[in-house]
Amino acid sequence: KGKEISNYIPGNRKTLEKGDSILVDPERSDHNGSLVNAMLADSGECTFKKLYQENGHTMLKALNPY
C-alpha cells in the first residue's frame, strides 16, 4: 500500500501520496535532512515533513511542493 521510506534519497523528488502509510521509530534521533513526524503545538495535529536546521533555526519543509 505505502511506499518504503528507507528508499528515500535526499534531493530526489519522491513524495508520499494520500493513503500511504509510514512507520515511525520514536527511538531514532533526528538530524538536518531527516524525515520527521512532528506534533503542531497549537492544534495537536501531527505532520510528516523534512527537517532543516540552519544558522540556529529549525524549519519543517513539505515533501510535496504543491
Res 1: pLDDT: 39
In angstroms, the CA 26 to CA 36 distance is: 10
In angstroms, the CA 29 to CA 16 distance is: 21
pLDDT tens readout for residues 38-50? 888 899 988 888 8
SS3 6: helix
Res 7: pLDDT: 45
Q: Taking the model in full, what pTM does it have?
A: 0.63
Positions of the chain with pLDDT lower than 50, given as ranges: 1-7
Res 51: pLDDT: 92
